[in-house]
Amino acid sequence: MGTVHIEAEKEDIAKKVLMPGDPNRVKYIAEKYLTDAKLVNRLRGELAYTGYYKGVRVTIFSSGMGIPSMGIYSHELFDYYDVDTIIRIGTAGSYLEDLKLYDLLLADSAFSKTYFDEEAGREGDNEEVINSSQELNGVITNTARIRGIPITQGRVHTSLAFYTGESNISKYVDLGCKAVEMETYALLYNAKKFYKKATSILTISDNLVTRDVIDPMEREQKLDQMIVLALESIIKC
């Protein structure tokens, strides 16, 4: 038996989970990188596969898009499936001219102007910034260094809107944000709530200052560097 949104049996989900937003990417990663991969969730088309990477059991689970979807899946994974570690692997729009297409950004924290935490039942004041797991970030940074993969650490802005006005950029840069995406805050909120580990590795897919954009067809293969970094890191955590 699963949860309201996940049909997988409890034992079918590994303690270590990678979460891309897109179910097609889940299938791509499972087929390319996992051995003995088994499809464990199909509900609502949010695919999940559990298999082995270098002998370590890992689940790849699509979060869907945005705070509500990531909020639901990460809650159920931490709470019901007792997952220990989640690394989101996604894309983000850069707020900085020198954070360029295909650059990797490791979230050290997420900023959100939303009231997700209040609506999710957190007691006390709305918390605008939530930190990622320092332990996970240490392992990822080290793994990147060993493999010669350049990566920047910084705060991400988790937005409710994909289509935003340009005039907002400087406001979020002033708040320390290097890029914008739509899921990390919800993931970090749930990790904190359930005393679990989480972070996000993001590939810059568009630059909001220069207006450069990655071609969507090209995107698939170019994300491999991030995928390998996440897999190599999660097996050590």
Among positive and negative, which fits the CA dihedral 75, 77, 80, 83? negative
Crossing angle of helices 184-193/66-79, nearest 10°?
A: 30
Per the listing, tokens 């650059």 go with: 103
Residues 164-183 binding ligand HPA (CB under 6 A) are 180-182
* 206 catalytic per annotation: yes
Site string for ligand HPA, 118-157 (x = CB under 6 A): ----------------------------------------
CB of 230 vs ligand HPA, minimal distance in Å: 17
CA distance 110 to 199: 9
Based on the shown chain and the rule CB under 6 A, indicate whether residue 93 belongs to the binding site for ligand HPA: yes
- Which position has the token pair 């689970």? 61
Q: Which is nearer to ligand HPA, 115 or 162 (CB)?
A: 162
Query: Residue 6's CB: how many other CB atoms inside 10 A?
Result: 23
Nearer to ligand HPA, 17 or 169 (CB): 169
Return d(Cα 191, Cα 198) in angstroms, integer.
6
Active-site hit among 84, 206, 212, 224: 206
- Residue 205 is a binding residue for ligand HPA (CB under 6 A): yes
* C-beta of 92 vs 96, nearer to ligand HPA: 92
Please state whether beta strands 104-111 and 152-158 pair in parallel, antiparallel, or not at all (unpaired): parallel
Helix/strand/coil percent split, the chain, to 5: 35, 30, 35
Per-residue interface string for the shown chain with ligand HPA, residues 15-34, x marking contact by CB under 6 A: --------------------
112 binds ligand HPA (CB under 6 A): no
> Which one among 79, 84, 127, 206 touches ligand HPA, defined by CB under 6 A?
206
Residue 115 sits in the site that holds ligand HPA (CB under 6 A)? no
Does residue 175 contact residue 95 with C-beta atoms inside 8 Å? no
Which residues in this chain contact ligand HPA in the complex, by CB under 6 A? 91-93, 159, 162, 180-182, 205-206, 208
